[in-house]
Amino acid sequence: MTISTEDADSANAGGFRKWLLAPEPRGWFQSSTQQIHQGWLKFSLHPLGLAGLFIIVLLIVVATAAPLLTSYDPIVQDMAGRLAPPSATHLLGTDNLGRDVFARVIYGARTTLYIIMLVTIIVAPLGLLIGTVSGYFGGIVDEILMRITDIFLSFPGLVLALGFAAALGPGITNAIIAISLTAWPPIARLARAETLSLRKADYIAAVRLQGATSIAIITRHILPMCIPSVIVRVTLNMAGIIITAAGLGFLGLGAQPPWPEWGSMAASGREFMLDSPWVIAAPGIAIALVSLAFNLVGDALRDVLDPRGSE
């Protein structure tokens, strides 16, 4: 019996692929990996989502490999070469203090990434915790937690962030705290809404009938169900977070000079917008691009993780 070349190829290279596609997973790791693989296949049906993902990966790579991509120091000034237009030596020109704009954009990516990660780490668990506890227990607990959420929700994001930054003092860490305090309420409400409907599910009743404590039910059974929609929501809100951070930077409350941050770069570039547009265009485009990328990924993620909405 002859085997076709494709069969032969797949028999060899097939080891991992077969493991991924095996109908009978033989362990938890294999089973979970298969699920992730299935999710990835679904995600990769969305070309725009893939484009967004590419930009985000690029952001991470650029931020990590910053010293490798440019030899210029983003902080060193060179008054003689200030406001030089884009050229072979300065890919995106120089700003009003002679600093290489390209280098500042690349190092500014680190700042952006830092902000995004910290905000997510604060906001997602906080929102999930408050939302699920509120939704599961109901009654007075729900009332109290939701009124607190309402208070934070009722302030416009930038204003609240401004207030906190003014109280705590300017600086990037305080900016992150300020942004986080405004970003968690929608997550809490989302988690609460999910919990309210999950609470009535038979599989939750089954676990109650095993003698599970409320904490166990919330952490082991309800939380895992809320996480996908929270991931989608956080991804979609990321654009707003980036723009709020940029806004704070623009107003001088974010990363302090001379450290590069896209928002403050845009602020200082404002003056020279007409004669030296590259100073403001570069960070501006970077902000827009990254925000767009998160929106695209969030939309595609929603189809993968939260298909309820699309059907």
Partner 1 sequence: MIRIDNLTIRFGHGQRPVVRDVNLTVAKGTAFGLVGESGCGKSSVLRALSGLNANYDGSIELQGETLDRQRSRPFFRRVQMVFQDPYGSLHPRKTIRSQLKEPLRNQGLDTNSVDVNAVLRSVGLDPVLSYRFPHQLSGGQRQRVAIARALMLNPDVLLLDEPTSALDVSVQAEILNLLQDLRAERGLTYLLVSHDLAVVSHMCSRVAIMEAGEIVEQVEIEALRRGAVEHPYSQRLLRASRMYGRA
Cα→Cα distances 9→4, 13, 184, 267, 274, Å: 9, 6, 50, 57, 60
Question: At how many degrees (to 10) do helices 101-137 and 278-305 cross?
Answer: 30
Least Cβ distance, residue 187 to partner 1 (angstroms) = 19
| 24 interacts with partner 1 by CB under 8 A | yes
Which one of 5, 28, 275, 311 is in contact with partner 1 (CB under 8 A)?
A: 28
Site for partner 1 in 197-216 (CB under 8 A): 201-203, 205-213, 216
Instruction: Pick between residue 25 and residue 277 the one whose CB is nearest to partner 1.
Output: 25
Query: What is the Cα–Cα distance from 111 to 103, expressed in whole angstroms?
Result: 13
Name the token pair of 113: 């990434």
Which one of 14, 19, 20, 25 is in contact with partner 1 (CB under 8 A)?
A: 25
If you write DSSP's letter for every residue of 177-188 in order, what string do you get?
Answer: HHHHHHHHHHHH
Query: What is the Cα–Cα distance from 132 to 119, expressed in whole angstroms?
Result: 20
| 277 interacts with partner 1 by CB under 8 A | no
Instruction: Pick between residue 204 and residue 265 the one whose CB is nearest to partner 1.
Output: 204
Total residues at interface with partner 1 (CB under 8 A):
25
Which one of 31, 64, 87, 89 is in contact with partner 1 (CB under 8 A)?
A: 31
Which one of 10, 30, 77, 256 is in contact with partner 1 (CB under 8 A)?
A: 30
One-letter identity of residue 125: P
Cα→Cα distances 5→2, 16, 22, Å: 9, 18, 21
Binding positions for partner 1, rule: CB under 8 A: 24-28, 30-31, 35, 201-203, 205-213, 216, 220-221, 224-225
